[in-house]
Amino acid sequence: MKQLVLLFSILFSLSSFAQIERVEPPFWWSDMHQENLQIMFYGKDIANYEVTASKEVVIENVLKTENSNYLFISIQTKDLPAGSYAFNFSKKGSKDFSRSYEFKQRREGSALRRGFDASDAMYLIMPDRFANGNPDNDSSEKMVEKADRSNLGGRHGGDIQGIIDHLDYIKDLGATAIWSTPLLEDNDKAYSYHTYAQSDVYKIDPRYGSNEDYKKLGAEMHSRDMKLVMDYVTNHWGAEHWMIKDLPTYDWIHQFPGYANSNYRMTTQYDPNRSQRDWKYCVDGWFVSTMPDLNQSNPLVLNYLTQNAIWWIEYANLDGFRVDTYSYNDKQGIAKWTKSIMDEYPNFNIVGEVWMHDQSQISYWQKDSPIGAIQSYNSNLPSVMDFTLHDAITSIFNEDNASWDRGMVKVYENFVNDFLYADIDNLLVFAGNHDTDRINHIYNGDLEKYKMAMTLVLTTRGIPQLYYGDEIGMQGNKAEKGDGDIRRDFPGGWKGDENNAFTEAGRTQDQEAYHAFTKKLLNYRKNKKVLHFGKLLQFLPENNVYVYFRYDENERVMVVINNNTEAQELELSRFAEGLDGNTSGKDVITGKQVNLSNNLSIKGKSSLVIELK
């Protein structure tokens, strides 16, 4: 009889414990700046239970929503030491079951971690297309879409281990930070490789590896003095997200009711003449039908996203975020989200994707923007992406004949508007990324045009970002072949690849020419503070030749980009202000001495980076 009672007791306990299907965040840390934590318990009718906790834990609030499968429990965390604490669930005063919750010890100096900045060069990776380090996880029984490398828009098998295996390649190239497109679980039926339609934001997609693998990636990078930047998505989740399938509240996502697509007109965020309808369809409309739009004006949603972001910073020891579709969010909500993270980590960095084509409109989204101040708005976002410079780069080197508004003057005019930004050193500058045509496609595989583009990106103000494969001449045509073509597999990342561009011996002659130039300039930049934080002095382009200087109190670098098809002779007296009395310098690429006492000759469609002596 006693055995039956014991068996019944064990079965009842297991049944009750199983009622809690998820706890998020799954654990937390002691000694955080944020002095309260909202823990979400999820399970069938969990809201029907009353909750108490260990005597050390102060429960400030228990929130129940219209969905009885959720309980949101807010606790005071100030002075709560590391350890495990019990949450007790009961009905009618009878304790039914308990769930322990762990507070871990933080890493020493975690709060003061330094994020990426202009001393870094960021390497953007599409993990599914970079390298397949573990073929055993190419497909997963738990995930719908299986690997099919023959499908341009399918999963190809790249993973976290593939990135780890080639960290030395990236470091040798001269990059100091890696921005990987999202690695969290995405269980869409198709096109899940891009992972922007996430189905679980506390879990690495098993086809990429595990949470532990991601933590290992951060550790391996830090051992090489490199920084890890996570691509974070605040605007939307995927339709397969487990919470979307069982919403905590009706307004967890934007509903019209149901689905309506965004009009993508981000200018409605600050247009004083906008219609409310246009604004709503921009901010509340879904990015696409498979990506439900999250409602950051709902405090539960905002807090969930904030805690999730902080959890990943602590867990994986991150050095920064790149935030997808930043300007589509509820702008007050995203400003609070950003401030909460920067308050927790004052030296952290976050760059937001603000894909606009006007400097004042991009500036609006940067912290302390003089443009945002006009409407008393501050996003708290430290860094934004310089899309107007990108716009110029994608056309100028095909514009051989300069005019009032064509050729190198486009670059000059871009920098004219730097006064609109609060922090010009904290702009991400790039020639291409995972959403744009490959720069080497735009320039039809012309190495000299690539060199001019990279010279600009790697020597101007801001934080340079390279897209994986550009450094070996990879091409891709989005307009004709879709996203898959600009996200091709890196040659050598898969066992059996005929061409292994990760090694000098495995690169073709053309690939090596691209790679050698990129490596030379990147590694030069790595140790040049003047290229990180020096001032920019530019001169009006003449004959499609653009000259600028980076300088500080200790060093000067002269950059010349001749976008003319013909060689040009520059009268150097015009640039006396930049030369500052220097009559010689060293060509960074060739190592040869350059006489700057009279005139300077530069061949057509070429660039020079000259360290002044």
At residue 202, the 3 state secondary structure works out as strand
**Which whole number is the average pLDDT over 503-520?**
98
Nearest to 486 by CA among 430, 431, 437: 437
Give the pLDDT confidence score for residue 613 in this predicted structure. Answer: 76
Give the pLDDT confidence score for residue 13 in this predicted structure. Answer: 46
pLDDT at 110 over 60: yes
Confidence band of 344 (pLDDT split at 50, 70, 90): very high
The answer to whether the predicted template modeling score (pTM) of the entire model surpasses 0.85 is yes
Percent of the chain with pLDDT over 70: 97
Q: What is the rounded CA–CA span in Å between residue 118 and residue 588?
A: 20
One-letter amino acid of 289: S
Q: What is the rounded CA–CA span in Å between residue 455 and residue 453?
A: 5
Q: What is the rounded CA–CA span in Å between residue 24 and residue 280?
A: 30
Q: What is the DSSP letter of 236?
A: B
Average pLDDT, the chain: 96
Give the pLDDT confidence score for residue 531 in this predicted structure. Answer: 98
Give the pLDDT confidence score for residue 475 in this predicted structure. Answer: 97
Nearest to 559 by CA among 366, 412, 416: 412
CA distances from 5 to 2, 10, 11, 429 (A): 5, 9, 10, 69
Give the pLDDT confidence score for residue 10 in this predicted structure. Answer: 46
Domains of the chain in sequence order? 2-102 (2.60.40.10), 117-233+431-527 (3.20.20.80), 363-428 (no CATH), 536-612 (2.60.40.1180)
State the catalytic residues: 324, 353
* pLDDT tens per residue, range 466-494: 999 999 999 999 999 999 999 999 999 99
pLDDT at 591 over 70: yes
Give the pLDDT confidence score for residue 95 in this predicted structure. Answer: 72
Confidence band of 3 (pLDDT split at 50, 70, 90): low
**Which whole number is the average pLDDT over 194-199?**
97
Give the pLDDT confidence score for residue 94 in this predicted structure. Answer: 72
pLDDT at 15 over 90: no
Tell how strand 350-352 and strand 383-385 pair up: parallel
Confidence band of 389 (pLDDT split at 50, 70, 90): very high
**Which whole number is the average pLDDT over 450-468?**
98
* pLDDT tens per residue, range 200-248: 999 999 999 999 999 999 999 999 999 999 999 999 999 999 999 999 9
Give the pLDDT confidence score for residue 18 in this predicted structure. Answer: 56
pLDDT at 515 over 50: yes
Q: What is the rounded CA–CA span in Å between residue 343 and residue 345?
A: 6
